[in-house]
Structures are given as structure tokens and as C-alpha cells.
């Protein structure tokens, strides 16, 4: 279990690096959309190469046809997220940017859990969960102010 936590912690620590790298890419390429496109393009190449090296079988056409329509929106959400990070990283700084990201993630996650949406197990909103989200938003204010 600790390995899971450590792996996710390391992945999370890469988000501000990604935002800074992509913001520099936007400067160099002249527009945030180009930076996001390059970021997604490199990611697509790496994931395609990894799938090829692991010799993963492609799903059957019927499996693809049976996927719920909303499942295809993940790429759209990712493109929006990366583009927003590229635009606002230089304006907000890494700490404020990621504090807002984490607070937004917790707010959305609490609602997804409460209603059991998108395949998440249902966990009712409770006082301690609401307090946790409020504390995160308080953290955003403190990080931004100081």
C-alpha cells in the first residue's frame, strides 16, 4: 500500500514540473495550444511505444463500439487541463496553480464519490469530508496570499 502512495505522490510532484515545462514550450512555440499539442503528441508516442513493447493486443471493434460515449471525453478533459496549466502557470506560479488544482480535484472528487459517478464507489458526503475540502480551499487562500 505504501508503494501505491509513494508512486502517486511522485506522479503528483511531476505536475508542477509539467506545467513549467509546458509553459516554456508555449513561449518557445508562440502559443499555449501548440504547447499542449506537443505535450499530448509526445505522450501519445510514448504510450504507443510502451503498448507496442509490451505487445498489448488492440481491443476488438465490438469492444470499442460498446464503450459508453462519455468515455471518449477523457482526452478532451486532458487537453483542457494541460492548456489551462500552460496559460496560467506563468501568471499564478507553481504553488498557487497546483493548490487550485488540488482544491478543484477534491471538490469534484467529493461529488463524484457522493453520487457514485463515472464508476467510482459511492461514499456519502460527510462533515469531515466537507471540512477537508474547506481546509484545502483555505490552503489555496494562504498560499496565494503569502
Give the orientation angle of helix 94-115 with respect to helix 127-145, to 10 degrees: 170
Sequence-ordered list of residues with C-beta below 8 angstroms from that of 123, at least 6 positions apart, any chain: 113, 114, 129
Confidence at residue 66, expressed as pLDDT on a 0 to 100 scale: 92
Render pLDDT for 1-51 as a digit per residue (tens, 0 to 9).
899 989 998 998 999 999 999 999 999 999 999 999 999 999 999 999 999
Domain range annotation of the chain: 2-145
**pTM, to two decimals:** 0.81
Amino acid at each position: 500500500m505504501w508503494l501505491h502512495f509513494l508512486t502517486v505522490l511522485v506522479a503528483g510532484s511531476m505536475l508542477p514540473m509539467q506545467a513549467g515545462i509546458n509553459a516554456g514550450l508555449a513561449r518557445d512555440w508562440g502559443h499555449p495550444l501548440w504547447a499542449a499539442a506537443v505535450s499530448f503528441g509526445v505522450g501519445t508516442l510514448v504510450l504507443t511505444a510502451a503498448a507496442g513493447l509490451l505487445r498489448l493486443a488492440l481491443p476488438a471493434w465490438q469492444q470499442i463500439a460498446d464503450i459508453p460515449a462519455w468515455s471518449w471525453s477523457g482526452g478532451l478533459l486532458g487537453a483542457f487541463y494541460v492548456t489551462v496549466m500552460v496559460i496560467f502557470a506563468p501568471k499564478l506560479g507553481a504553488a498557487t496553480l497546483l493548490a487550485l488544482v488540488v482544491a478543484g480535484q477534491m471538490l469534484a472528487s467529493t461529488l463524484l464519490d457522493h453520487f457514485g459517478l463515472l464508476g467510482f464507489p459511492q461514499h456519502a458526503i460527510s462533515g469531515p469530508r466537507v471540512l477537508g475540502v474547506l481546509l484545502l480551499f483555505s490552503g489555496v487562500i494562504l498560499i496565494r496570499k503569502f
